[in-house]
Chains A and B, each alone.
Chain A
Amino acid sequence: MAVNRMFRTCPSTGLVYHEPAEKLIRWNAVAAVVSLLVGGILALLVTLTRWPAVHLLPPDWFYLVLTAHGLDMLVFWIIFFEIAVLYFCSSVLLRCRLAMPGMAWLGFWLMIVGALVNNVAVFRGDSSVMFTSYAPMGAHPAFYLGLILFAVGALIACFVFFGTLVVAKAERTYNGSVPLVTFGAVTAAIIAVFTIASGAIILIPTFLWSIGLVDYIDSLMYRTVWWAFGHSSQQINVAAHVSVWYAIAAVVFGAKPMSEKVSRTAFFLYICFLQLASAHHLLADPGLTSNWKIFNTSYAMYLAVLASMVHGLTVPGAIEVAQREKGFNRGLFEWLRKAPWSNPSFSAMFMSLIGFGFLGGISGVMMGTEQLNLIIHNTIYVPGHFHATVVVGTTLAFMGLTYFLIPTLFRREMMFPGMAKWQPYVFGLGMMSFSLFMMGAGTLGVPRRHWDMTFAGNALGYEFPGTAYLMMGIMAISGLAAVVGGIMYLLITVGSVFLGKKIQTPDFARVAARDGVAPKPVPQPVAVSHAGIGTAGFVAPGTFVLALVFLTAFVLYYFVNWKYLSTVWPLS
């Protein structure tokens, strides 16, 4: 088969699109947004049920809808979008043809069929096993089969990504090292391969068990291996959204990473250590020793947390330097005040960064500590934490990227630009408040995945304080705000992509391999001088102050929880 060498250059961004890559990125992004739509409707139903004053659905529907919400959001929306990001970071950023587009389409269709099969199984009503599908709770075989097909498709996509790196190197479409954003995508793809392999190791036997070919699945074994998949997939998200932060900072501000070396080393720490943190999901399980638990969740994980803090500093730091060089050099925070807050790509990215760090990061380190985990284990604190990471962090970052992609990738003008200005705030602030009040209610012990927090008619009742009900109410109202933000996003994206005004740009043309070779790099001066910006010897003093605020919040919250731990079981 002849290799497709049709490329086009976007006149406003200079990005180079390979014809099959462009099509695949579009289709994966569209599949992602459709999953988000379904998951969002389900989010509304779950939220209205957990709002004690409304308590919408009956119990069987609640667990069905909760299962579908978790899967459509955290597996299908996120991973379809990530595949689009992987193809973008390889083919587009390296100006290279996508390797094996035929395989990429096979992967895409496997993912589509898998997602459909899994959803059908859940909506039949006999697979309400929730996101984690813990054995010995059994689902319909189609539930596991759908996930396996989806995973195989995603694995193929990862290899298309690695293949594209090989092609780029062979055809010399870049010089030296791949760009930092691509390096972040490499990190995400590596974690994805481990994630999918672990998923296969556990889901294939479970599938065989569901059709009667295997007669026993050990529940602890299931949980241990399942979390190598369930947790690591969250680390794909982290690596992907951090890459998106760097990309948006570069696009909006022309910001250059403060130090390529430091940022790449931080990604390398992710590759080595992030996946070990899977053990924090088993902190309350008997059977595994404290050696295993503490090694994996403390010593190793703190190195990964360190890496996240590095990214959390270098991204705003790079923005600060770029802004100061543009002349916003007064005081500590002029660079931030004069940032383009009405550009939805920027506001989404910045809220993602702050929300991920302050809400998701701090709560994650607290929960990941073996002793403290007991305070909140299986309470609604847990979904509070991960809505801060995967919704405020990943989802909001992906929304920000979408606004950038609509004109350059889909070649459409953005519809409803006025609404787009507000969308990240409605969604982001709604979700931050939602997570915060979930965590508040969880600290008081309100269980997660629970249909009725009043325990009406139960033999062993429990009376939660009024504050817990109040917090669940505020949580639900904030959740509704986030749902409105989600609807705004869907209106803007679907409207623009299907009805937006077409932007006329030069079309695809054949580019021979030798014409795609990257130009010789211009030798750069080794040290870039930042003379004349910043204060007191710091080039980015504002970021430094933000970091101190973060560390203070972190330390205080951490120690308050140790104090709290000593009071949860009064022994006298």
Chain B
Amino acid sequence: MNNASNESPLDVDDEPVPAMQQILDNPFLLLFIGIAMPTVLYIVWGVMEIVGIPVAK
């Protein structure tokens, strides 16, 4: 805890933040990726295969 003298703590160095770091710093983007990947590749693909199994006559 310190006092309020520092207005913007981010302007210490003005180097641009690398793109990958920007991705990793965005938890909601990561949340989207972490749900979309397994939903598509595991659940949707898997369920489509199960639905496609021919029914015995």
Name A residues whose Cβ lies closer than 8 Å to a Cβ of B.
Answer: 7, 9, 16, 95, 162, 165, 172, 175-178, 183, 186-187, 190-191, 193-194, 197-198, 201, 218, 220-221, 224-225, 228, 232, 264-265, 268, 271-273, 275-276, 278-279, 282, 287-289, 292, 295-296, 300, 511, 514-521, 523
Give the complex CA separation of A177 and B38 in angstroms. Answer: 26
The 10 closest A-B pairs by CB, nearest first: A275-B38, A190-B34, A514-B4, A271-B34, A224-B46, A175-B9, A519-B2, A520-B6, A194-B35, A190-B31
B2, B33, B46: the one within 8 Å of A272 (CB): B33
Q: Report yes or no: A275 in contact with B47, Cβ–Cβ below 8 A.
A: no
- Is the beta-carbon distance between B38 and A232 smaller than 8 angstroms? yes
Residue of B nearest to A300 (CB): B41
CB distance from B48 to the nearest CB of A (A): 9
Does residue B56 face the partner (Cβ distance < 8 Å to A)? no
Q: Which residues of A contact B45 (CB under 8 A)?
A: 292
Given A272-B34, A275-B34, CB of A288 within 8 Å of CB of B46 = yes
List the B side residues contacting A292 at CB < 8 Å: 45-46, 49
B12 contact set on A, CB distance < 8 A: 175, 520-521, 523
Which residues does chain A contribute within 8 Å of B2, judged by CB atoms? 515, 517, 519
Asked whether B50 lies within 8 Å of A186 as measured between CB atoms, the reply is: no
Known: A190-B34, A273-B37, A276-B41. A518 touches B47 (CB 8 A): no
Across the two chains, which residue of chain A brings its CB closest to B6? A520
The answer to whether B37 and A276 touch across the interface, beta carbons within 8 angstroms, is: yes
B43 and A190 form a contact (CB under 8 A): no
A-B contacts, 30 listed (Cβ < 8 Å):
A162-B27, A162-B31, A175-B12, A177-B24, A186-B27, A187-B34, A194-B38, A224-B46, A224-B47, A225-B43, A225-B47, A228-B42, A265-B20, A268-B23, A268-B24, A268-B30, A271-B37, A275-B42, A276-B37, A279-B42, A282-B46, A287-B50, A288-B46, A514-B4, A515-B3, A516-B1, A517-B2, A518-B9, A519-B6, A519-B9
- With A193-B31, A272-B37 known as contacts, the answer to whether A228 contacts B43 (CB < 8 A) is yes
Which B residues form the contact surface with A (CB < 8 A)? Answer: 1-4, 6, 9-10, 12-13, 20-21, 23-25, 27-28, 30-31, 33-35, 37-39, 41-43, 45-47, 49-50, 53
A268→B22 CA distance, assembly (Å): 13
Closest-by-CB residue of A relative to B38 is A275
Q: Enumerate chain A residues within 8 angstroms of B53, measured Cβ to Cβ.
A: 287
- Are B50 and A288 interface neighbours, CB within 8 A? yes
Q: State A546–B26 Cα separation when bound (angstroms).
A: 35
Contact residues in B for A518 (Cβ distance below 8 Å): 9
- The answer to whether A220 touches B6, judged by C-beta atoms less than 8 angstroms apart, is no
Can you name the residue of chain A whose Cβ is closest to the Cβ of B53? A287
Residues from chain A with Cβ under 8 Å of B25 in the complex: 176-178
* Distance from A487 Cβ to chain B, minimum over Cβ atoms (Å): 38
B33 → chain A closest CB, angstroms:
6
Given the known interface contacts A225-B47, A228-B38, A276-B38, the answer about A16 and B27 at a Cβ–Cβ threshold of 8 Å is: no
